Chains A and B, each alone.
Chain A
Amino acid sequence: MEHNIFSLIGENLQEFFKFTGFANATVGHLIMIPIGLLFIYLAIKKDWEPMLLVPIGFGIVIGNIPLFPGLNVGVYEEGSVLNILYQGVQKGWYPPLIFLGIGAMTDFSALISNPKLMLIGAAAQFGIFGAYAIALAIGFSPAEAGAIGIIGGADGPTAIFLSSRLAPDLMGAIAVSAYSYMALVPVIQPPIMRLLTTHKERVMKMRPPRAVSQTEKKLFPIIGFLLTAFIVPSGLPLLGMLFFGNLLKESGVTRRLAETARGPLIDVITILIGVTVGCSTQADKFLQWSSVKIFILGAGSFVIATTAGVLFVKFFNLFLKEGNKINPLIGNAGVSAVPDSARVSNNVGLEYDNRNYLLMHAMGPNVAGVIGSAVAAGILLGFLS
């Protein structure tokens, strides 16, 4: 009798063991969990985009806990809690909500006061199409290449939105790649900026931006939306929400709505998008050669975008009068990692002249980059979906 009880307990424990993570762990899980922990480390210790890397890093850890199949808890198991939260990524409705918040927190004054900076935001989108061409050359389909290329737009929500439509299978790798390189902007961009500029160009002083009237600020989201949405209607969810958020901010009569959009709403969505994108990097889906290629292409697209931005400013300066010229160090800010790439412009500028503050000027191309990448996403969606 006693023997039977012990054997029963033993059998139960053995059965229970089958359900534990220890029994179901694979090499893939053991690789992905440290990657998640590395993200958390970089966020906490190095302060690299902590708002993004902490949720994504922890999401990677959550998504790579080895599971006994059929428990209905995994992110890819239909109806599970994580799967329901993941719908916002899959169906693409988290990114427009993030854009609403971005619009409500963005001050377009720098751009309005010096509208020619918009063209730098357009030039930096070369990164998207450079990466698109390379991705095609190494064997990705046009839809996949478009989704990978958008990493060069340096806009996490846009990358998620586009990849959820063009290449859902690659979304995890694309999103993690986009956010990782956004965090690495201070590492990637400065060497390229130094390489492509002369000392004289780096210390170039720019004219201070003029004061922008409230009417101009109110008109910007309305005109900006009508124009861009008519040209690229497929970018409607992103452009509509971006400019709507900005109108909430600038209208002056919807302060509470603007505060909600740029505060609690964007925080909630950032948490959900970060964790669920992290979860989606489940080892069996993520650890593939295509992910490695995506990471390499992502780095390439950032390099191309930065190069294109800086070189475009130098080219543009050929046509500008003395006194109106633009410091090429703000060319990198067309990569729309707001406000990191603008901060990089400022920091590199200060290295060479500690009184040359470029932040306000760099914010112009930076926010133009957000518009440019949303427009580019709309074009890719229109061509490739």
Chain B
Amino acid sequence: MKKALKIFFLLGVLCSAVSLQAQNMGDMRLNEILVTNTDDFEDDFGHKNGWIELFNTSYGTVDIAGCYLTDDPGNLKKYMIPKGDILTKIKPRQHILFWADNQPFRGTFHINFDLANADEILFVSSDGRTVIDRIKVPADMPENISYGRTDDGIGAHDGSAEGWQTMERTSPSTNNTDMYGESKAARLEKADPYGALMAFTAMSVVFLALILLYLIFKNVGNYSIRKSKQRESRATGTPVSSAKVSAAGSSSHEPSAEVYAAIATAMHLYREDSETHDIENTILTIHKVSKSYSPWSSKIYTLRETPQLKRK
């Protein structure tokens, strides 16, 4: 019973950890904001408004339904992101944009305040208490200039400006850094056109991994041999130093594995020669036993009694 309880407890802990992970709103970050929009991108209704961009830093989908956006630290529940909208499920490493137009009836992504007088923007968990990310809005932000993280999702999330900068150009719903920059593979191709660097690095790592494994198991092996030697000397009553270990790891007076193999083969051949072995080696054959009658196969016992009609 105790064992079952332990298993259930472990499963419970595991499940709760998994469910926490699945709903990891803590991976969301405020990523870029535009306070005043007079000549930048328009929303679906053709209006130019400020906006707040969020970024999912994780490699799993995060549902932000029920979380809050606010510009008032005294009112953390100012705008609740509606539940039931499939678009609030943010795919891994993706962005989502909220228009700060004070027109919430225009849809999930139009919030109920604008950024004209905002000093600070906060993203709050669905419990309405935990602040996941916050950023102080710099005073006198110029029109059509956004303020964002230099690299998506990287930097502070306690309100300080670490990792934030005034952006050269706005990038709503897309990467703040140049997404057309060179990929890792392209950079590698340029730096190492013949693959020599890659071969050297990779082979060094392969060797390093296997050398470490070799060193560990060399020592484990030595320890194991020493222990078995000690056990043997205790059993035979001889001192450890006199029980010399042979190359095969066993003591010198003990027959080697090859000797055992030779004895086993000889016995096998002997048994084969003396015809005690079956014709087909290592195959179990069932010989048919010819018996004309057996109560187990008799149909008489398996039939019902023939019904008899009794007439008076």
- The majority secondary structure among interface residues of chain B is helix
* Binary A-proximity of B237-250 (CB < 8 A = 1, otherwise 0): 00000000001111
Count of chain B residues with a beta carbon within 8 Å of a chain A beta carbon: 38
Distance, CA A111 to CA B217, complexed state (A): 9
A130 near B: Cβ within 8 Å?
yes
* Binary B-proximity of A186-214 (CB < 8 A = 1, otherwise 0): 00000000000000000000011111110
Complex contacts, B185 vs chain A, CB 8 Å: 141-143, 383-385
B10 near A: Cβ within 8 Å?
no
Cβ contact within 8 Å between B218 and A115: yes
B230 near A: Cβ within 8 Å?
no
User: Which of A42-50, A83-91, A250-258, A369-377 has 4 or more CB atoms under 8 Å from chain B?
Assistant: A369-377
Given that A208-B258, A210-B247 are contacting pairs, would A220 and B217 also be in contact in the complex, using a CB cutoff of 8 Å? yes
B225 near A: Cβ within 8 Å?
yes
User: Which of B55-63, B136-144, B193-201 has 4 or more CB atoms under 8 Å from chain A?
Assistant: B193-201
CB pairs A–B below 8 angstroms (10 shown): A115-B213, A125-B202, A136-B195, A141-B185, A212-B221, A212-B224, A372-B206, A372-B209, A375-B206, A383-B184
Contact residues of B between 32 and 85, Cβ < 8 Å to A: none
Cβ contact within 8 Å between A384 and B205: no
Q: Which of B205, B206, B221 has the most CB of A within 10 A?
A: B206
Distance, CA A208 to CA B249, complexed state (A): 10
Distance, CA A207 to CA B245, complexed state (A): 14
Complex contacts, B217 vs chain A, CB 8 Å: 111-112, 115, 118, 216, 220, 223
Given that A207-B247, A383-B184 are contacting pairs, would A375 and B214 also be in contact in the complex, using a CB cutoff of 8 Å? no
Cβ contact within 8 Å between B212 and A376: no
Cβ contact within 8 Å between B213 and A227: yes
Cβ contact within 8 Å between A119 and B214: yes
Q: Which of B201, B220, B225 has the most CB of A within 10 A?
A: B220
* Binary B-proximity of A121-148 (CB < 8 A = 1, otherwise 0): 1100110111011001100011101000
A224 near B: Cβ within 8 Å?
yes
Distance, CA A142 to CA B198, complexed state (A): 10
B112 near A: Cβ within 8 Å?
no
B14 near A: Cβ within 8 Å?
no
B188 near A: Cβ within 8 Å?
yes
Distance, CA A118 to CA B213, complexed state (A): 8
Distance, CA A227 to CA B224, complexed state (A): 20
Complex contacts, B188 vs chain A, CB 8 Å: 142, 383-384
A32 near B: Cβ within 8 Å?
no
A356 near B: Cβ within 8 Å?
no
Cβ contact within 8 Å between A130 and B199: yes
The smallest C-beta distance from A104 to any residue of chain B, in angstroms, reads 20
Cβ contact within 8 Å between B202 and A215: no
Distance, CA A133 to CA B218, complexed state (A): 34
Known: A128-B202, A142-B188, A208-B248. 8 other contacts (CB 8 A): A112-B220, A119-B214, A129-B203, A212-B224, A216-B217, A231-B208, A379-B202, A383-B202
Distance, CA A224 to CA B247, complexed state (A): 25
User: Taking CB as reference atom, which chain A residue is nearest B248?
Assistant: A210
A232 near B: Cβ within 8 Å?
yes
Of A137, A143, A208, which is within 8 A of B194 by CB?
Answer: A137
B257 near A: Cβ within 8 Å?
yes
* Binary A-proximity of B103-133 (CB < 8 A = 1, otherwise 0): 0000000000000000000000000000000
The smallest C-beta distance from A103 to any residue of chain B, in angstroms, reads 15
Complex contacts, B257 vs chain A, CB 8 Å: 208, 211
Cβ contact within 8 Å between B194 and A126: no
A317 near B: Cβ within 8 Å?
no
Cβ contact within 8 Å between B206 and A379: yes
Complex contacts, B249 vs chain A, CB 8 Å: 113, 210-211
Distance, CA A130 to CA B250, complexed state (A): 42
